[in-house]
Amino acid sequence: MIELLDDFVVRSVIAGLLMVSIAAPMGCLMVWQRLAFLSDTLGHAAVLGVGLGIWLQVHPMIGVLVIILLIVISLSRITSFNNALSETALAVTSHTGLAAGLILLGTMPGQSVNLESILFGDLLATTKTDLAMIFGTVVILLFLLAQHWRSFVAVSVSREIAQAEGIEARKVQFLMYLMIALLVAVMMKVMGVLLIAAVLVIPTSSARLVSRSPEQMVLISALFGVLSLGGGMLSSFHFDWQTGPAIVLSASFLLLGTLVVRRLVRGVG
């Protein structure tokens, strides 16, 4: 098994499957709570974290986690957890974080910074250390999802009903935001800061068209995620495309195909 991990293709496939396994349930929760833009915001702001980490001469992931956690805590206080986070606050944070990060990275001429990898990810460059970090994160997030799934779904359906049932909606939502922050911090290595939201939202949107229950939606979303991963990686090998964008494009084609099939089935019915 250890020898297999020396193959970059095996590492990238494992990393992709791990990403899909956690993107499905997390993506569903984000769509149900209208938090798709939150992952986009955190992804853009992560560029500032990368620049901060390099500037402080520490691992960029530390800078990313610091910036993302500060943003999540600040936004949660500003918006008071009213249904969805303020779109204005998210937009300002997103663009400011991306702009500040690009400027900070641009002031480091002596540093070898692969800006393209930061923006669009590099799944095929996954190292053993990256894989271990992704695996650990997925295990933690899946454990938290298993422990709090009922509460997450209840708050997503109706915050008021959840509170009436004794669920502390504020704490549940804050935990969810922290989980999204951790997910974005790790996924940026694989998908890049500009494509994280797409991987979380597009397969989930496809699953939403054909699902009848929350759990079914998660499973179908994971299936669409695996198909998107396979299609993207095959396209990357055959046409020499960047892997991250190819995965997103594959997911979009699947969404379009699902819409067409659904309309045809309704027309026949």
Which of 64-68, 76-80, 81-85, 223-227 shows the lowest per-residue confidence on average (mean pLDDT)?
A: 81-85
Residue 256 belongs to a domain: no
Asked whether residue 32 is domain-assigned, the answer is yes
Give the pTM: 0.86
What tens digit of pLDDT does each residue of 159-202 get?
787 888 888 888 888 898 889 888 888 888 788 887 888 889 99
Read off the pLDDT of residues 67-81 as tens digits, 9 standing for 90 and up: 888 888 877 776 554
167 phi and psi, to 5 degrees? -85, 130
In a domain, 171, yes or no: yes
> Which among 19, 13, 14, 38 has a CA at the least distance from the CA of 203?
19
The three-class DSSP label of residue 143 is helix
User: In which residue are the tokens 């610091």 written?
Assistant: 66
- The Cα 193–Cα 43 span in angstroms is 4
Question: Which pLDDT belongs to residue 192?
Answer: 83
Q: Would residue 53 count as lying in a domain?
A: yes
Q: What is the pLDDT of residue 241?
A: 87
The whole domain housing 95 covers: 4-194
Contact 228, 250 (CB under 8 A): yes
Backbone angle region of 80, left / alpha / beta, with phi > 0 → left and psi within -120 to 50 → alpha: left
pLDDT of residue 127: 86
**Domain harbouring 166, CATH code:** 1.10.3470.10
Task: State the pLDDT at residue 83.
Answer: 47
Total count of domains within the chain: 1
Residue 220 pLDDT greater than 90, yes or no = yes
pLDDT over 80 (residue 133): yes
Does any domain span residue 218? no
